[in-house]
């Protein structure tokens, strides 16, 4: 895994100069502007664009204090205040020339950051490198700037040179994603609908804000839309060039299929990593796991999907809300997640609880059940089993979509105690109530309510939907039917456990006890 120092060595001093700081591993590239308010996480290499004042730079330095590094213009890196603030935060900074095109800088950075990850995953072929070569090839065919994008408008490669054709292309290359307003313009023209349904290339007319015309080529394989090629041209392609373009699109489709298979392999490796944590085969925290303590949770819903499909859905939702490397895995027909117990950043318990609560509005089955905190990775399996145990007590309700061991511990203790009562205690007074008449079930319901609301007969009556005098009458009948001293706390506890045991027995054999009067 590359660090800021390794990145500076890879780029050489001609591209960037390193201002030393903590040598933290770089997990990904994050491009920010001073006013976007984006949450910056450990592992981010932050590229600062569009800073106009030193104060804006200092604010980004504060936000990026825990990041792996900060890339900024030379004029800001030469500021004494900026250097001091970076040093205080232990933040390594990479200074790039003021006149260096950001598209070129970001391309170098991505190449340097992605290559170690590719080697770690033992890629035998540099698919991204091949796609960049194909972008140059198509650019030569059309004699125009080209980008290659996947079906989500994420930029995978682009041709060299001619980066500043228009603002939309520049923003696309720098951000590696088609800007939202540009996507909205193309969507209003029906571009993406046409890409998803047609194999034929087509011309998209110029738009407002200086957006130039594009010639768009769908990339498909086996009838499935994989991505597209976008070229900045003023007129459709014809003649021999159209045939060459079709052949190039077929080659690009093969690369996109290979990229998908590698992504799927990486996803499976990630799933296996999380499963090994949950199954207890890991004794030391792996390098890819953030510092603890952690908590294992179960993500619920939609109920009509298999666990694998639910896992994919929750992974996509977690990424959409900012957790770029969600630690999820399906196991034992449940979707488990490992989160940090502290903080509010993506990947923390409080953050995930908020995501689930918001999701409940559109998915009524959505819920989150949490086990206890684990300060060691060896305790994660216990947290997993606790989460599963709490989930068996009953799914979270509409008013409480998130539950945990801390909020359900009374019910959990009761369930464990009942599970230990493998047979009825001798001379059980509660069991004797149910021997000879249906009315005994009513007395058991009354006894349960009175114990649960001891000292508050009004609440016990409200729970059963009867008058308090009815409660007093039934208690008199109880005293006649069985020898119970409800003033004795030991007897109250024993009776309450026995009622829970009988309800569990009846639940597995026939309908539960009636609460009707």
In three-state form (DSSP H/G/I as H, E/B as E, the rest C), the secondary structure along 202-227 is: EEECCEHHHECCEEEEEEEECCEEEE
Residue 203 domain-assigned? yes
Same domain for 366 and 347: yes
Handedness of CA 113, 116, 117, 122 (dihedral sign): positive
Residue 192 domain-assigned? yes
What number is the average pLDDT over the span 170-199? 74
Residue 212 has a pLDDT of: 83
Task: Examine the fold and report which residue of 358, 393, 419 is the final residue of a domain before the chain moves on.
Answer: 419
Residue 13 domain-assigned? yes
Tell me: pLDDT of 379 over 50. Answer: yes
Residue 177 has a pLDDT of: 57
Task: Give residue-wise pLDDT tens across range 260-296.
Answer: 766 666 677 778 889 988 998 888 888 888 888 999 9
What number is the average pLDDT over the span 396-416? 82
Same domain for 425 and 397: no
Same domain for 133 and 239: yes
Report strand pairing: 202-204 vs 224-231. unpaired
Same domain for 148 and 45: no
Neighbours of 24 (CB within 10 A): 21
In terms of pTM, does the model score above 0.85? no
Q: What is the CATH number of the domain that holds 212?
A: 3.30.450.40
Range of the domain at 465: 421-509
Same domain for 128 and 251: yes
Residue 209 domain-assigned? yes
Total domains, the chain: 4
Same domain for 304 and 196: no
Q: What is the CATH number of the domain that holds 489?
A: 1.10.10.2840
Q: Could you tell me where the beta strands, DSSP code E, fall in 2-76?
A: 17-19, 28-32, 44-48, 69-73
Task: Give residue-wise pLDDT tens across range 98-149.
Answer: 877 777 677 677 766 655 444 444 443 467 778 888 988 998 888 888 989 8
Task: Examine the fold and report which residue of 395, 419, 443 is the final residue of a domain before the chain moves on.
Answer: 419
Same domain for 491 and 502: yes
Same domain for 458 and 349: no
Same domain for 237 and 132: yes
Round to whole Å and give the CA distance between 170 and 211: 11
Question: Cα 453 to chain center, whole Å?
Answer: 42
Same domain for 251 and 344: no
Backbone angles phi, psi at 287, to 5 degrees: -65, -25
Task: Examine the fold and report which residue of 118, 140, 170 is the final residue of a domain before the chain moves on.
Answer: 118
Residue 360 domain-assigned? yes
CA dist 112 to 9, 27, 236, Å? 10, 12, 36
Residue 426 has a pLDDT of: 63
More confident residue, 169 or 153: 153
Tell me: pLDDT of 313 over 50. Answer: yes
Residue 218 has a pLDDT of: 93
What number is the average pLDDT over the span 192-213? 84
Backbone angles phi, psi at 149, to 5 degrees: -125, 155
């Amino acid at each position: 895994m590359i660090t800021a120092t390794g990145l500076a060595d890879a780029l050489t001093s001609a591209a960037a100069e390193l201002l030393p700081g903590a040598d933290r591993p770089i997990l990904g590239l994050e491009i920010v502007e001073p006013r976007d308010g984006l949450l910056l996480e450990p592992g981010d290499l932050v590229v600062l664009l569009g800073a106009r004042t030193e104060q804006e730079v200092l604010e980004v330095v504060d936000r990026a204090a825990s990041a792996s590094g900060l890339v900024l213009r030379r004029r800001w890196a030469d500021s004494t205040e900026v250097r001091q603030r970076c040093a205080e935060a232990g933040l390594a900074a990479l200074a790039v020339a003021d006149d260096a095109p950001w598209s070129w800088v970001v391309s170098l950075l991505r190449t340097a950051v992605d290559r170690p990850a590719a080697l770690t995953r033992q890629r035998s072929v540099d698919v991204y490198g091949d796609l960049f070569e194909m972008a140059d090839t198509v650019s030569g065919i059309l004699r125009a700037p080209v980008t290659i994008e996947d079906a989500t408008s994420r930029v995978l490669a682009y041709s060299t040179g001619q980066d500043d054709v228009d603002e939309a292309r520049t923003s696309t290359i720098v951000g590696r994603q088609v800007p939202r307003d540009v996507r909205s313009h193309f969507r209003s023209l029906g571009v993406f609908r046409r890409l998803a349904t047609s194999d034929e290339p087509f011309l998209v007319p110029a738009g407002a804000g200086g957006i130039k015309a594009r010639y768009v080529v769908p990339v498909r394989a086996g009838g499935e839309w994989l991505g597209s090629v976008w070229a900045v041209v003023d007129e459709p392609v014809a003649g021999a060039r159209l045939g060459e373009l079709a052949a190039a699109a077929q080659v690009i489709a093969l690369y996109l299929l290979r990229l998908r298979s590698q992504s799927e392999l990486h996803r499976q490796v990630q799933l296996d990593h999380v499963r090994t944590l949950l199954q207890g085969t890991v004794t030391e925290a792996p390098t890819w796991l953030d510092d603890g303590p952690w908590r294992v949770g179960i993500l619920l819903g939609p109920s009509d999907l298999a666990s694998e499909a639910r896992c994919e859905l929750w992974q996509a939702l977690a990424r959409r809300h900012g957790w770029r490397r969600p630690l999820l895995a399906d196991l034992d027909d449940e979707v488990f997640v490992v989160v940090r117990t502290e903080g509010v950043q993506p990947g923390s318990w409080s953050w995930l609880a908020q995501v689930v609560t918001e999701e409940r509005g559109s998915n009524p089955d959505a819920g989150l059940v949490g086990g206890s905190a684990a300060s060691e990775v060896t305790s994660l399996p216990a947290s997993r089993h606790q989460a599963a145990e709490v989930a068996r007590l009953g799914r979270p309700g509409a008013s409480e979509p998130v539950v945990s061991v801390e909020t359900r511990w009374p019910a959990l203790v009761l369930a464990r105690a009942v599970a230990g009562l493998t047979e009825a205690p001798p001379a059980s007074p509660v069991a004797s109530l149910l021997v000879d008449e249906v009315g005994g079930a009513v007395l058991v319901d009354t006894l349960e309510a009175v114990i649960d609301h001891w000292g508050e007969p009004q609440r016990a009556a409200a729970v059963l939907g009867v008058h308090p005098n009815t409660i007093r009458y039934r208690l008199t009948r109880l005293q006649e039917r069985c020898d119970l001293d409800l003033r004795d706390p030991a007897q109250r506890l024993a009776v309450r456990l026995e009622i829970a045991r009988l309800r569990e027995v009846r639940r597995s054999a026939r309908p539960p006890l009636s609460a009707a009067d």
